Amino acid sequence: MPEPEFRAFDPAQVARLYDKIAGEYTGRFGEDLRPGTGDRAFLDVALASAPSRGPVLDLGCGPGQIAAITVDSGRPAIGADISAGMLAVARRRVPLATFLSADARALPLRPGSCRAVAAFYFLHHLPKALLPQVLAEVRRVLPAGGILVVATHLGVGEQLVSSEWNDAPQHLKITFYARDELATLVVAAGFSVESVASRHPRPDEFQAEHGFIRARAT
C-alpha cells in the first residue's frame, strides 16, 4: 500500500485527524502539564512574567491543558484550535475558559488584547513558510511586554509520521526546527528571546528533542 502524500499544508486535513483522535489524545496526554514536569516549569515561569492584564491565549489548545492551568491560577484564558473535536473536549474540561474555532494565521482577537500566548506542540503542524505569518499574528495580539512561550520538536526538515490512534494508522507531516533557527524567526517577528531550553523525549512521546522558547514582545 503506497504511503500517503502530503504535498501542501491542508488545515482541514489536520482538523479531521484531531477530530478522530480527540478522546484518545486526551487520555494519553491530557495531564502532561501536571506540576513537577519540565514542560510545566517552563510554562509557569513564562506566564508568571507576563503582564497583569488580558487573557492567556492557548494557541492550538487541543484539550485545553494550558487554558485549565490559567483558569486554575485565577487568570482568564482563551483557547483556539481548528479541530471541532478537540474544542468540544476542551469546553467540557475547562468550562470557565473561552474556546474559539480559529486559524492561527487570522485570530479573531483585538490587537494587544492578550497578556501571553502559549503555543505548545502546535507549530510543528505548520510548513516553515507559514511560520512568519503566524508569529506576526501572535505579535499583533500581544502588547509590548507580552509573553510568547513555545514548545515544539527540534530537528531538521520535515517528516511524514505514521502512528496508531484508535487502532488505526494516522498520518501527519511534522516540521522540525533547529533551536537557533526558531529563535531567529521569533526575533524577526518582533520579540526578544529571554530563555531557550530543551529536553529528551519520554518513551511515550514523539521521539524528537523537545525545544522551548520564552520571548517578550518588543
Predicted confidence (pLDDT) at residue 212 exceeds the cutoff of 80: yes
Spell out the CATH class of 11-217: alpha beta
Q: What pLDDT, in 10s, does the model give residues 25-48? A: 898 888 889 888 889 999 999 999
Assess contact for 176 and 158: CB atoms under 8 A.
yes
Buried b (16+ CB within 10 A) or exposed e, 61-85: bbbbbbbbbbbeeebbbbbbbbbeb
Classify residue 98 as exposed, middle or buried by CB count within 10 Å of its CB (0-12, 13-18, 19+).
Answer: middle
**Cβ atoms < 10 Å from Cβ of 197:** 15
Per-residue cell: 151: 514548545
Q: What is the pLDDT of residue 170?
A: 61
Q: How many residues does the chain have?
A: 218
Q: Put residue 201 in one of left, alpha, beta given phi > 0 → left and psi -120 to 50 → alpha.
A: beta
DSSP code, position 198 = E
The H-or-E segment that residue 140 falls in is helix 131-140
Predicted confidence (pLDDT) at residue 62 exceeds the cutoff of 60: yes
**pLDDT band of 115, cuts 50, 70, 90:** very high
Q: What is the pLDDT of residue 169?
A: 53
Buried b (16+ CB within 10 A) or exposed e, 101-136: ebebeebebeebbbbbbbbbbbbbbbeeeebeebbe
Q: What is the pLDDT of residue 3?
A: 43
Q: Which of residues 3 and 217 earns the better pLDDT score? A: 217
Q: What is the pLDDT of residue 89?
A: 96
Handedness of CA 15, 19, 25, 26 (dihedral sign): positive
Q: What pLDDT, in 10s, does the model give residues 159-210? A: 776 565 555 556 677 899 988 999 999 999 999 999 999 988 888 777 778 9
The H-or-E segment that residue 192 falls in is strand 191-199
Q: What is the pLDDT of residue 32?
A: 84
Please tell me the distance from the alpha carbon of residue 181 to that of residue 189, in angstroms, as a whole number.
13
For the chain, the structural domain boundaries read 11-217
Predicted confidence (pLDDT) at residue 134 exceeds the cutoff of 90: yes
Judged by DSSP in three states, 56 sits in: strand
Name the one residue in this structure whose C-alpha cell is 477530530. 19
